[in-house]
Amino acid sequence: MEALTLLKTRNSAAKLCAPGPKDEDLEEIFAAASRAPDHSRLRPWRFLVVRGESLSALGELFATAAMQRNRELSEADCQRFRLQPLRAPLILVVIACIKDHPKVPVIEQQLSAGCAAHGALLAAEALGYAAIWRTGENAFDPVVHKGLGLESHEEISGFLYMGTREGSAKPLPEMLPTDFMKEWR
């Protein structure tokens, strides 16, 4: 797909089925992600690939974290968390690795990790897959961070659910540049 068309038409998909990205496609996805703008070349991101049985393990981790946040969580809600990662054949966990740097504040490193996530989403779509970036309370939960092996200087930027679009694409919202830009002076 032509680059500008891809940029203008990327469209998240909430409903995803198999197949998810193959290993060689993941290589392309990571190559695209690694071209994120990056002040001082800190590479302030890393990815975890979660697929196969590990999706259920991630669901267990989500449910455990949710139960610790709320001791009165109903079994139905617990099960909802358990099933969340099974909504796609593959999840990329995008982790922002924040470094203490004299010139690059935390926000710039977080933005860079966000750009890496966007690059991954665009590459997935270019390769014929579909995806959606999700967070939710579990992205910010220390129990989830520990279970995924994050260090104290790391944060979850998002869970990129990836697979094949189920059903038709949602209509893109109409937005004119004049809705969000104007000339200055």
Ligand X SMILES: Cc1cc2nc3c(=O)[nH]c(=O)nc-3n(C[C@H](O)[C@H](O)[C@H](O)COP(=O)(O)O)c2cc1C
Point out which residues bind ligand X (CB under 6 A): 11-12, 132-136, 158
With beta carbons less than 8 A apart as the criterion, state whether 89 and 20 touch: yes
Please report, for the chain, how many H helices and E strands are present, in that order: 7, 5
| Residue 27 vs 172, nearer CB to ligand X | 172
| Residue written as token pair 């259920």 | 56
Is the Cβ of residue 44 or residue 158 nearer to ligand X in the bound state?
158
Give which of 128, 101, 112 is closest to 13, Cα–Cα.
128
Q: How far is the CB of 52 from ligand X (least distance, A)?
A: 23
Contact by Cβ (8 Å): 131, 12: yes
Q: How many CB atoms neighbour CB 67 within 10 A? A: 15
Smallest separation, CB 135 to ligand X (Å)? 4
Collapsed DSSP state (helix, strand, coil) of residue 105: coil
**Cβ(143)–Cβ(61) under 8 Å?**
yes
CB of 37 to ligand X, least distance (A): 16
Q: Closer CB to ligand X, residue 51 or residue 134?
A: 134
Least distance in Å: CB of 24 to ligand X? 25
Q: How many CB atoms lie within 10 A of CB 41?
A: 7
DSSP letters for 110-153: HHHHHHHHHHHHHHHHHTT-EEEEE--GGGG-HHHHHHTT--TT
Q: Which is nearer to ligand X, 26 or 131 (CB)?
A: 131
| Residue of closest CB approach to ligand X | 12
Q: How far is the CB of 70 from ligand X (least distance, A)?
A: 18
Compare residues 79 and 135 and give the one whose CB is closer to ligand X.
135
